[in-house]
Amino acid sequence: MASVFERAGPELKEQAGTILKEYISAVNEAGKLWTTDWTRIVIPELEDVFMAKKQKRKRTLEDPREIPVQQQSKLQKRAPNPKKNVFDRPKNNYSTAASASNEDVSEENWKKLAVVGTCQRLEKRYLRLTSAPDPATVRPLPVLKEALRFLKRKWKAEQDYGYICDQLKSIRQDLTVQMIRDEFTVEVYEVHARIALEKHDLGEYNQCQTQLAQLYAQGISGHRLEFLAYRLLYFLHTKNRAGVYRMLKELTPEEKQDAAVQHALAVRKALASSNYHALFQLYLHAVNMSAYMMDNFVERERVLALQTMCRACVQIS
């Protein structure tokens, strides 16, 4: 991975990191995270970025308008013949053509990786992929939508988390191998995240939250503000101060008007000021499913509150 960022350089580090993160998430969803030989992996999107960077440097050497004045003068001094220097060479469209060709090949390769499922079963166990997915075992989008409706009814009736979690992971896998990233994909991850939150399965919840953040960032609609509030509460649970400060900095005035976000911000304020009375009132009047997230740290804070009161009593006596 280090070589990726070395090739990207400071100017492309963030873009390369985003592409790499999405690719790793897709590999993880396909169940190949630990079986993939990462030393031999070639990511087409990354190669396009590096190629564009290389071609840009080449154009810079060919076009004097893209070179600072000081550098131009130095190059001209080094030229053996001013009448036939490097800037007199005829221009061509090779760079542009090569870049466009690479983009076309990259897009085509990604589309070839997608599978079009033909399986019609509503229920299907989740199995980690050890080879290329078989279309006969992958469910197409209409079947996946019906399967989700079926699982929602099943969850309300039976509350069997082990079964529901396995089935939802299977739906997520079918969406991944078919490269379906739309509002239905968001709905699947949101449903799974809420159920995992209710059952205090933070590992599964965090996987869903990570994917949802990427889907929301792509402009796909869903209950973004609800999960933005859960994310802030999750950072409070893990005591991730950097994550909390980053979220506070990035929140827009419109986002701060949302009831769930306001509740999460009030929880943060209560924790920061050790206002335990306010904290437990917020716990009792939580918005959406925020109380389930607060379950993970409210006992910890209750113990701290009791310790504070005991120290106060000792000092008074």
pLDDT tens-place string over residues 172-217: 999 999 999 999 999 999 999 999 999 999 999 999 999 999 999 9
Q: Is residue 279 part of a domain?
A: yes
- Note whether 107 and 7 are same-domain residues: yes
- Note whether 127 and 211 are same-domain residues: yes
Work out the average pLDDT over 66-75: 50
Portion of the chain with pLDDT greater than 90, in percent: 55
Distance CA 46, CA 49 (A): 5
- Final residue belonging to a domain, choices 206, 222, 238: 222
Please write the tens of the pLDDT for every residue from 101-158.
343 444 455 555 678 889 999 999 999 888 888 899 999 999 999 999 999 999 999 9
Q: Is residue 238 part of a domain?
A: no
Q: Is residue 242 part of a domain?
A: no
- Note whether 83 and 129 are same-domain residues: no
Q: Is residue 246 part of a domain?
A: no
Q: Is 187 exposed, middle or buried (0-12, 13-18, 19+ CB in 10 A)?
A: middle
Distance CA 78, CA 59 (A): 19
Range of the domain at 127: 123-222
Q: Is residue 236 part of a domain?
A: no
- Note whether 128 and 172 are same-domain residues: yes
- Note whether 99 and 43 are same-domain residues: yes
- Note whether 95 and 13 are same-domain residues: yes
Alpha-helical (H) ranges within the chain are 2-29, 44-62, 69-78, 94-113, 141-158, 161-177, 183-198, 202-217, 224-238, 241-250, 253-256, 259-272, 276-284, 290-316
3-state SS assignment for residue 222: coil
Distance CA 74, CA 87 (A): 13
Distance CA 211, CA 244 (A): 19
Q: Is residue 234 part of a domain?
A: no
Q: Is residue 317 part of a domain?
A: yes
